[in-house]
Amino acid sequence: MPPLFHLPLKLIAGLALAMAALVGPSQAEDTTGASSASSAYSRMVLMKGAWLFDRNCAFCHEKDGRGSVGPNLTDWYFIHGSTKDNLHEVIQNGVPEKGMPTWKSILKPTDLRLIEQYVWSIRGKDLKGKPPEGEHKPDEKAATEVAG
């Protein structure tokens, strides 16, 4: 049996993710923007993002982001803005006075980036949970933009 088969599956998955992180989404994409390498990369990013979300965010936003203490992240409405930059800002800095932690002082930047990609990807899933809050809604173009 080749030595690779002796490695635990988790380690192999970890290595694959680390390699994907090194290659990065821009290099992995071909000119059509839809190579199998880039979609495999995206799937891995979103899986890791979902895993991290589950451990750090689900306590207040529920598993899958449908909201409980914190807002539902799967509708199209946002309190603090609907752009990628807005989401980045609110996740990094939090809203301490409302109970949303300042994540940049808790998690590594690389983990936060994966979480941000995941949060971006669940917009519009409209999971039954906390009713929509906030006035900010993305325009059609931003709504169809993929995580990246």
Cβ proximity to ligand HEC, 100 vs 147, nearer residue? 100
User: Binding to ligand HEC by residue 114, rule CB under 6 A?
Assistant: no
Distance separating alpha carbons of residues 34 and 148, to the nearest angstrom: 13
Asked whether 145 and 33 are in contact (CB, 8 A), the reply is no
Which of positions 27-86 make contact with ligand HEC (CB under 6 A)? 56-57, 59-61, 69-71, 73, 78-80
Distance separating alpha carbons of residues 16 and 79, to the nearest angstrom: 36
Cβ proximity to ligand HEC, 60 vs 127, nearer residue? 60
User: What is the largest distance, in Å, between two alpha-carbon atoms of the chain?
Assistant: 59
User: Binding to ligand HEC by residue 132, rule CB under 6 A?
Assistant: no
User: What φ, ψ does residue 77 adopt, rounded to 5°?
Assistant: -110, 135
- Residues of this chain that interact with ligand HEC (CB under 6 A) are 56-57, 59-61, 69-71, 73, 78-80, 87, 90-91, 95, 98-101, 103, 115, 119, 133-134
